[in-house]
Copies of this chain bind each other. A is one copy, B any other.
Amino acid sequence: MNDKPSDAAILAWARLMKAQRMALNAVESDLKAAGFPPLSWYDLLLELHRCGSRELRPVEIEGRLLLEQHNVSRLIDRVERSGYVVRRRCKEDGRGQLVALTEEGHALMQAMWLVYRSAIERHVGRHFDDKDAETLATLLGKLITPAVTP
């Protein structure tokens, strides 16, 4: 509780917050300008696409998207209302649901990726050469490992 971070660590923290907000705002803004829904919708569609069967249980989505149960539930609500996913009963576990990607969802995902991809390049990629991008990814990776001292 009393450990003090170095000045370098404080600066890294502050810039992590600021750089992420700026990059995310810029990318979301590009998607919106192209008439697309928020990135969170894409994230959901992509996870469903990635999993082979194109369907997942909310509890699995929860872990992959770093969202809480109720937020997953409401994200699915919105995306389902627009017809990009559907909810089905889960036969193995009566408590559970299955969320499945629709054809429209798959098409939206692909269309968004074209805009998303160029937004990543414009707002992130263009600032780094490959070596720097790798270094950045490696350093950020250290924050993603869930290792925390008890």
Query: Cα distance A134–B10 when bound, in Å?
Result: 10
Chain B residue nearest in CB terms to A6? B130
Number of chain A interface residues as a range: 35 or more
Chain B residue nearest in CB terms to A147? B127
- CB pair A3–B137 under 8 Å, yes or no, is no
Interface 9-mer from A70-78, A79-87, A90-98, A115-123: A115-123
Cβ contact of A12, chosen from B115, B122, B128, B149, cutoff 8 A: B128
A127 contacts across to B, CB distance below 8 A: 142-143, 145
The minimal Cβ–Cβ distance linking A103 to chain B, given in whole angstroms, is 26
A107 interface residue (CB < 8 Å to B)? no
13 A-B residue contacts at CB 8 Å? A5-B117, A8-B130, A9-B120, A9-B128, A11-B134, A12-B134, A15-B136, A15-B144, A16-B23, A17-B20, A20-B20, A122-B148, A124-B143
A19 interface residue (CB < 8 Å to B)? yes
A50 interface residue (CB < 8 Å to B)? no
- CB pair A136–B133 under 8 Å, yes or no, is no
